[in-house]
Amino acid sequence: MAGYYEGLFILVGINIIAVLGVSILTGFTRLFSFGNAGFMAIGAYTGAILSKELNTPLVISIIGGMIMAGFIAFLLGKITLGLKGDYFLIATLGFGESIRVIIENMQSVTGGARGYSGIPMKTNIWVVIISVVIAVWIAWNLLHSKIGRNFQAIREQEMAADAIGIDSAKYKNYAFVISAMFAAWAGVLFAHYFSFIVPIMFNLVKSSEMTITVVIGGLGSLTGSIIATTILTLLPELARAAAEYRMLAYGVAVVLIVTLRPSGLMGYREFSFKKTVAWIKNVFNRKKTSSPEEEENA
Amino acid sequence: MIWQQLVNGISVGSIYALMATGYALIYSLLGFSNWAHGDIGMIGAYIGFFSLATFNLPVWLALIVAVAGAGLVSVISERLAYRRIRNNNSPTMFLMIAAMGVSITLQNFVLVTVGSKFKTYPQILPVKAISVGGIYIGMLDLISFSVSLLVILFLYFLIERTKFGLAVKAAASDMQVASLLGINVDKYIGLVFLLAGSLAGVSGVLLGMKYTVYPQLGNFALKAFIASVFGGLGSVPGAIVGALFIGIMEVFVAGYVSAGLRDLFTFTLLIAVLVIRPTGLFGKDIQDKA
Amino acid sequence: MTEPILSIQELNKNFGGVVATKDFSLDIYKNQIVGLIGPNGAGKTTIFNILTGIYQPTSGSVKFMGEDMIGLKPFQIAQSGIARTFQTIRLFKQLSALENVIIACHQDCTYNVFSAVTRLGKFKSIEKAVRDRAHELLEIVGLHDDAYRIAGDLPYGYQRRLEIARALAIHPRLLLLDEPAAGMNSEESNDLCKFVFDLHEKFDLTIFMIEHHMDVVIKLCDVVTVLNFGQTICRGTSDQVTCDPRVIEAYLGEEMK
């Protein structure tokens, strides 16, 4: 296995890819899902089986995993996206847990509850770096186009979005499928790093952690999600000594952030050099201006 | 054999129903899923355990302390976590996230202080099972069912027949108007959390007695959530029906199909119900007004 | 005799036991400005909601430019050319005014997902064209200087204009305005009348509006329909309608003898 810091880096990268998907779904379209770990599992197992049984190159395994997850998400979305908030949430929760149970019961194919081993270790730091860069690039471009804008319209005022001709059912499904594919991508990389996967790795705790990460980073901010993922992945590792206390601190931190700073780390905004410089200038000039530079980030 | 399974199912279902009732109460009042509900019950289970095993309190006192303790923790969580979010007018999902934080905090607090070893409740009930027409009913199951039934009836009486219940229903319906009518909404919300927490506490103790006590005991509340969604969010009767149904179904699937697939059946059924009735069996259809 | 652009026939809507709309019929012709008035709770917004697909009627039909609209989803109705504003302003409050209008131009963004992600192909040119059009629309409604302000921060009157700009962005033939002058004083509603009339000319619109401000109705509307308890009680020009005893009774109660 790679060195300790390399391993951390890889873990952060994998988590970022998965969280990007949840960010698009929850932060930008306001759909709360507790089933995305299920899509990670689908990706992980599909990719792992492809690699181990058919000796496919990593890229093919990733694509295979993503297609499988995307397809299942599409079907699930058709059934459940008409449900209101909490109902949709429980449906996705049920889905995530069901996937786990199904995998556990398909011993011959997946190794069941004992896990699937012998996955070729193809995930190294370069694979992760390239993946993260591509994933962020895709997510950013998607969000700064008609598609991303439609997501946000649905988030802000679904009824008004309908009234201006946006097919909200279709776009919600897009967001759901995209988030599933990102989760699957992360899952394949995960499987090819640890070489051994077990259904319990992709449980409700993982799903809810991803949602919490997006909330902490700020709903509607990709950079917020990335920063939050990095912090939340690294912190427990760095505070290894007080292992038992870290989850306790995590729980308390979640409550504190949601009560005291609900807009999260970045609020609705993205990080930009221009804006940071402008903000610093503002602080010195004590004048409030709105700048056309904001347009470039729209 | 079927009848035996049915009885087992109702027994399990009644504990779920008790937990689902507390959860549904909070949902109907504040419109959010209290993810920490089960963990409040877990706290009750631990308090009960220590009262009996460590402090050797008499049974009746131990149980009162456990239930009161759970209620208290519930009220404190409302005060510290949820009230501020409510006052900020943040979207309801934030309450749920806060509840998740509370859940993680409670579980890990127990892990850190008490440890993860399973604790077995001291034997306070006679072990024997009574036999009714060939069907065996364990004492614990009988007590669980009776307690759940009594508590739920008490709750019904409280909500439907008292001024307190009326105030709660008013506040649930429209908080602003209720407060304009002089109802101290904060106080009533606190009382509802006390009530819900106590309900969780009772369920927690019963679960603890049935399954042993451990920090993740609160995960049983997931069944309560599902029951509530199944029966229609915000409907207490719906939650009870849903819980009984799930309890019975779990026992039958585990008995006749496979224990491993039990949860899969529950979830599939849930999705099937939601497809047919998107707001659950007795759920309110709240349509957004243009 | 030309065909009506919007033809509503015998529309009925019941909610459980409550009759919200009873036998509502109306023909609207191209370029007309038609008013729908009536006391609160008369069922005016219900009709708008049926027209835009939010509610399904219990019975009756709606034809827009000859096409059946009943059963279509709201977004399909919008895409057919019917735009609306809402009684409570439903802007995308966290986004800027410009973004609100750009989003509404989505039908002009004819690039596909691949082009959007890779930025190859028509993406850049289409985005620029859309951005320019959004600026244009904002200028037409007088919000050019506020293009980058967050929509939720705009003063109320400006928010109303922004909502209208957003509605105009979808190239509508028929514009449904739900109480556009709500919350305005007489000076502001005067401005609004001129504003709506200018748009009517400039965009060759047909307008159907719900309104309580009688001065706006009198100034703008060619034809007025009066609703009370879901039923049509009078129809005619503004002068005819305001003098009709049934209308006066509906608003003020029975005439004092």
Probe site for chain A from B229, B246, B279 (most A CB atoms < 10 A): B229
Contact by Cβ (8 Å): B239, B245: no
Q: Output the pLDDT for position B152.
A: 84
Interchain contact C119–A (C-beta under 8 A)? yes
pLDDT in tens, B238-249: 888 999 989 988
Q: Quickly tell me which residue has 């347009």 as its tokens.
A: A295
pLDDT in tens, C124-147: 999 999 999 999 999 999 898 889
Distances (CA, A) of C23 to A206, B128, C49, C58, C241: 55, 71, 16, 11, 20
Instruction: Write down the mean pLDDT value for chain A.
Output: 88
**Is pLDDT above 80 for C182?**
yes
What b/e string do you get for C92-131 counting C-beta neighbours within 10 Å, with b at 16 or more? bebbbbbbbbbbbbbbbbebeeebbbeeeeebeebbeebb
Q: Output the pLDDT for position A182.
A: 97
- The helix/strand/coil state of C224 is strand
Quick check: A164 and C169 CB within 8 A? Answer: yes
Query: Tokens standing for A56?
Result: 């496919």
| Predicted TM-score of the model (pTM) | 0.90
Contact by Cβ (8 Å): C206, C173: yes
Mean pLDDT for B18-46 is: 89
The alpha-carbon gap from A41 to the nearest alpha carbon of chain C, in Å, equals 26
Task: Give the one of A156, A157, A162 whose C-beta lies nearest to C78's C-beta.
Answer: A162
A8 contacts: CB under 8 Å, gap ≥ 6: A233, A234, A237
Q: Quickly tell me which residue has 């070489």 as its tokens.
A: A195
Q: Which of B41-50, C108-117, C241-250 has the lowest mean pLDDT?
A: C241-250
Instruction: Write down the mean pLDDT value for chain C.
Output: 89
Alpha-carbon span B159 to B145, nearest angstrom: 21
Q: Output the pLDDT for position A59.
A: 92
Higher pLDDT, residue B135 or B196: B196
Q: Output the pLDDT for position A298.
A: 44
* A38 Rama sector, left if φ>0, alpha if ψ -120 to 50, beta otherwise: alpha
Q: Quickly tell me which residue has 């089986």 as its tokens.
A: A49
Which residues in chain C have Cβ-Cβ distances shorter than 8 Å to A156? 91-95
Q: Output the pLDDT for position C134.
A: 94
Q: Output the pLDDT for position C183.
A: 81
The alpha-carbon gap from C147 to the nearest alpha carbon of chain A, in Å, equals 9
**Is pLDDT above 80 for A273?**
no
Mean pLDDT for C49-71 is: 92
Interchain contact A130–B (C-beta under 8 A)? no
Task: Give the one of A82, A94, A260 whose C-beta lies nearest to B278's C-beta.
Answer: A82
Q: Output the pLDDT for position A127.
A: 93
Q: A4-260 has which CATH code? A: 1.10.3470
Mean pLDDT for B38-59 is: 89
Q: Output the pLDDT for position A295.
A: 43
pLDDT in tens, A59-118: 999 999 999 999 999 999 999 998 888 889 989 999 999 999 999 988 888 888 888 988
Q: Output the pLDDT for position A69.
A: 96
Mark which residues 19-38 of C lie under 8 Å from A by CB: none
Which residues in chain B have Cβ-Cβ distances shorter than 8 Å to A255? 80-81, 98, 101-102, 105
Q: Which of A2-11, A155-164, A169-178, C215-224 has the lowest mean pLDDT?
A: A2-11
Mean pLDDT for B160-176 is: 76
Interchain contact A32–B (C-beta under 8 A)? yes
Q: Quickly tell me which residue has 């370069």 as its tokens.
A: A126
B281 contacts: CB under 8 Å, gap ≥ 6: B230, B231, B232, B238, B241, B242, B273
Alpha-carbon span B251 to C132, nearest angstrom: 64
Which residues sit opposite B137 in a β-bridge?
Answer: B130
Interchain contact C86–B (C-beta under 8 A)? yes
pLDDT in tens, C9-39: 999 998 888 888 899 999 999 999 999 998 8
Contact by Cβ (8 Å): A151, A29: yes
For chain B, which chains pass the contact test of at least 3 CB pairs under 8 Å?
A, C
pLDDT in tens, A232-260: 888 777 666 566 788 888 889 899 988 88
A210 falls in which pLDDT band (50, 70, 90)? very high
- The helix/strand/coil state of C33 is strand
A172 falls in which pLDDT band (50, 70, 90)? very high
Instruction: Write down the mean pLDDT value for chain B.
Output: 84
Contact by Cβ (8 Å): A31, A56: no
Which residues in chain A have Cβ-Cβ distances shorter than 8 Å to B235? none
The alpha-carbon gap from B90 to the nearest alpha carbon of chain C, in Å, equals 14
Which residues in chain B have Cβ-Cβ distances shorter than 8 Å to A244? 108, 111-112
Phi, psi of B56 (to 5 degrees): 50, 40
Q: Output the pLDDT for position A291.
A: 47
**Is pLDDT above 60 for A1?**
no
Interchain contact C248–A (C-beta under 8 A)? no
Contact by Cβ (8 Å): B229, A93: no
Q: Output the pLDDT for position A48.
A: 93
What are the residue boundaries of the structural domains of chain C, listed by start? 1-81+172-257, 92-166
Q: Output the pLDDT for position C162.
A: 94
Distances (CA, A) of B13 to A175, A259, B7, B279: 37, 35, 10, 21
Q: C1-81+172-257 has which CATH code? A: 3.40.50.300
* B131 Rama sector, left if φ>0, alpha if ψ -120 to 50, beta otherwise: beta
Contact by Cβ (8 Å): C29, C80: no
The alpha-carbon gap from A173 to the nearest alpha carbon of chain B, in Å, equals 16
Q: Output the pLDDT for position B181.
A: 75
Question: What is the amino acid identity at position A169?
Answer: A
**Is pLDDT above 70 for A274?**
no
Percent of chain C with pLDDT over 90: 53
**Is pLDDT above 80 for B49?**
yes
What is the crossing angle of helices A125-143 and A168-194, to 10°?
170
Strand ranges across the sheet with C33-37: C82-84, C174-178, C206-210, C33-37, C223-228, C231-236
Interchain contact B285–C (C-beta under 8 A)? no
Instruction: Tell me B218's DSSP state.
Output: G
Query: Tokens standing for B193?
Result: 């959390």
CA C24, distance to chain mean position in Å, is: 18
- The helix/strand/coil state of B235 is coil
On the 0-12 / 13-18 / 19+ scale of CB atoms within 10 A, C71 is exposed
Percent of chain A with pLDDT over 70: 90
What are the residue boundaries of the structural domains of chain B, listed by start? 15-216
**Is pLDDT above 70 for A2?**
no
Q: Output the pLDDT for position A26.
A: 94
**Is pLDDT above 90 for C178?**
yes
Alpha-carbon span B285 to C11, nearest angstrom: 24
CA atoms within 13 Å, Cβ hemisphere of C59: 4
Higher pLDDT, residue A188 or B52: A188
**Is pLDDT above 60 for C252?**
yes
Phi, psi of A67 (to 5 degrees): -65, -45
Q: Output the pLDDT for position A282.
A: 74
The alpha-carbon gap from A245 to the nearest alpha carbon of chain B, in Å, equals 7
Higher pLDDT, residue C243 or C220: C220
Alpha-carbon span B228 to B21, nearest angstrom: 8
Contact by Cβ (8 Å): A17, A131: yes
On the 0-12 / 13-18 / 19+ scale of CB atoms within 10 A, B99 is buried
**Is pLDDT above 60 for C257?**
no
Contact by Cβ (8 Å): A91, A203: no
- Which of the given ranges, A233-237, B129-133, C72-76, C241-245, has the highest pLDDT on average? C72-76
Probe site for chain A from B28, B34, B80, B97 (most A CB atoms < 10 A): B97
The secondary structure of chain A, three-state, reads CCCHHHHHHHHHHHHHHHHHHHHHHHHCCCCCCCCHHHHHHHHHHHHHHHHHHHCCCHHHHHHHHHHHHHHHHHHHHHHHCCCCHHHHHHHHHHHHHHHHHHHHCCHHHHCHHHCEECCCCCCCHHHHHHHHHHHHHHHHHHHCCHHHHHHHHHHHCHHHHHHCCCCHHHHHHHHHHHHHHHHHHHHHHHHHHHCEECHHHHCHHHHHHHHHHHHHHCCCCHHHHHHHHHHHHHHHHHCHHHHHHHHHHHHHHHHHHHHHCCCCCCCCCCCCHHHHHHHHHHHHHCCCCCCCHHHHCC
C96 falls in which pLDDT band (50, 70, 90)? very high
The secondary structure of B8-60, three-state, reads HHHHHHHHHHHHHHHHHHHHHHHCCCCCCHHHHHHHHHHHHHHHHHCCCCCHH
What are the residue boundaries of the structural domains of chain A, listed by start? 4-260
Interchain contact C87–B (C-beta under 8 A)? yes
Mean pLDDT for A137-154 is: 94
pLDDT in tens, B213-257: 988 888 888 888 889 888 888 788 888 899 998 998 888 888 887
**Long-range CB contacts for residues A287-296, cutoff 8 Å, separation at least 24:** A290/C148, A290/C149, A291/C148, A292/C148, A294/C96, A294/C148, A295/C98, A295/C148
Q: Output the pLDDT for position A170.
A: 95
**Is pLDDT above 50 for B118?**
yes
